Amino acid sequence: MVQAQARSAVARLARSVLSVRPLVEGLGGPVRVVAEGRDASGAPTGWSARQWHDVEQVLGRVARQAGVPSLALSRDVASGDLQVFERVVSDRLALADLVDAVTPMPDGLLTDIDQITAEAVANSFDGFFSRQSTRSHDGLPLNVYSAGPPGETVVVVPACGMPAALAESWMRFLARDRRVLAWESRGLFGAADHSDDYAVDTAAQAADLFTVMDHYGVADAHVVGLCGGAVIGLAAAASRPERILSLSLWHGAYEFAGGSPRTRFQNDLIELMTIAAHSRAAARSVQAAFWQVALTSTPAEVAHLVLYPYTSAELFYRYCRLNGALARTDVEQYLTHVRQPTLVVTSEDDETAHPQGSRQLAEGLPNARLRMEPHGDHASLFHADSTALMQAAADFIAHPTTRGDVAHA
């Protein structure tokens, strides 16, 4: 029983370590962690030297096997003294929950850790989705992902600047009976040594979608665009309509030359991104304001992924150049060119991206249907309970009809 409890605790830790890998890679260098419990109550008082040693040994071994060796357990540092991103990592790891299960160290546990971690790696995002690297039309390295059986293909366009793992639940769901492709935003992943002299406009980001398809030899595909990925998918469908079978656009923020209301969040975001995209120094000056907003508006279950582009001034600068371009794109230019069946989804109470933008888009496209949810926003797309939304996307892909103007969930 003790051994089973210990194995379960190590497996949970391995999954948690794997989940914070993008954030840790964004931070670079050693990342301090403290023994926080999952209820954020802090480390238990009175840990013995042996308990500290055992927890540190388990963490070190799991982290090395998981490919995240830069995690460092700090015994004499309070949670409040950590950098904000280190606190997010500590909260995710919840090391205080390990102590009862792994101290004193059960016989044989240390030798089992490699196998337990290997199983976690195999079942993780990077284990399930084969990651490769390709080059964009202008020479940028792109991380590209694939999974699922051969045949009908769906390209998932994640939120701009976010690790593809943020869309893992969507990608796994759709890959049950279809081939699923995805990629991560240009210049933000695997391109640290590449200069910033590359295109950031919406057309370049849309062209990356076809680079991904070409890399895997896919002639045509359905597209699911999430958040900022919705504008990328729309632009791609307008530029190469013969290659896009259908569009499913979720909680996009759409700009219209003729005017469209914005939420307060949109206005603040565009203002700050415009400042940050001006220069690296400007990005550094508003970086903290951005991650503070992100921390307060992001559910804890995805904070370790959503905060990735804020981890350094360089990443943040690149992120704002990309995302700012999407936010300023006049989508009206695409309306007459996108004739594919299109599902446009938003919610009545979305305070992140104004629902009127989605309504205008659905009304302006010649072959679109609006699905209006009673509740939801960017963050809710990635909740564990979003299965009904993913099923709606799968149903539309299977039968991309747009009969009826408005569908209420």
SS (H, E, C) 203-257: HHHHHHHHHHHHHCCCCCEEEEEECHHHHHHHHHHHHCHHHEEEEEEECCCCECC
For 254-258, which contacts have Cβ atoms below 8 Å and span 24 or more sequence positions?
254/230, 254/331, 254/353, 254/357, 254/358, 254/360, 254/361, 255/327, 255/328, 255/329, 255/330, 255/331, 255/357, 256/330, 256/331, 256/332, 256/357, 256/360, 257/330, 257/332, 258/332
Residues 6+ apart with CB under 8 A from 111: none
Identify whether residues 111 and 205 lie together within a single domain: no
Domain termination residue (choose one: 100, 123, 146): 123
Buried (b) or exposed (e) across 73-107, using 16+ Cβ within 10 A?
Answer: bbeeeebeebeebbbbbbbbbbbbbbbebbbebbe
Domain termination residue (choose one: 123, 140, 175): 123
Identify whether residues 101 and 165 lie together within a single domain: no
Per-residue pLDDT of the chain (409 residues; tens, 9 = 90+): 458 888 999 999 999 999 999 999 999 889 999 987 655 555 555 688 888 989 999 999 999 999 999 999 998 888 888 999 999 999 999 999 888 888 887 777 878 999 999 999 999 999 999 999 999 999 999 999 999 999 999 999 999 999 999 999 999 999 999 999 999 999 999 877 777 779 999 999 999 999 999 999 999 999 999 999 999 999 999 999 999 999 999 999 999 998 888 988 888 888 989 999 999 999 999 998 888 878 887 888 999 999 999 999 999 999 999 999 999 999 999 999 999 999 999 998 888 889 999 999 999 999 999 999 988 776 777 875 688 999 999 999 999 976 544 444 4
How does strand 179-183 pair with strand 244-250? unpaired
Identify whether residues 225 and 286 lie together within a single domain: yes
- What is the torsion angle, in degrees rounded to the nearest 10, for the CA atoms of residue 355, residue 358, residue 362 and residue 364? 110
* Predicted pLDDT at 45: 57
Identify whether residues 153 and 78 lie together within a single domain: no
* Predicted pLDDT at 299: 85
Identify whether residues 67 and 142 lie together within a single domain: no
Identify whether residues 251 and 322 lie together within a single domain: yes
Identify whether residues 79 and 147 lie together within a single domain: no
How does strand 153-157 pair with strand 130-135? unpaired
CATH of the domain at 397: 3.40.50.1820
Kindly state the DSSP code that residue 35 receives in the 8-state scheme: -
Domain termination residue (choose one: 123, 153, 172): 123
* 317 touches 277 (CB < 8 A): yes
Please count the other Cβ atoms lying within 10 Å of the Cβ belonging to residue 224. Answer: 30
Identify whether residues 254 and 338 lie together within a single domain: yes
* Predicted pLDDT at 402: 63
CA distances 72 to 30, 95, 301, Å, are 6, 12, 22
Domain span at residue 336? 127-408
Identify whether residues 246 and 277 lie together within a single domain: yes
pTM flag (> 0.95): no
Identify whether residues 29 and 161 lie together within a single domain: no
Identify whether residues 216 and 96 lie together within a single domain: no
* Predicted pLDDT at 168: 96
Backbone angles phi, psi at 265, to 5 degrees: -60, -45
Identify whether residues 135 and 258 lie together within a single domain: yes
* Total structural domains within the chain: 2
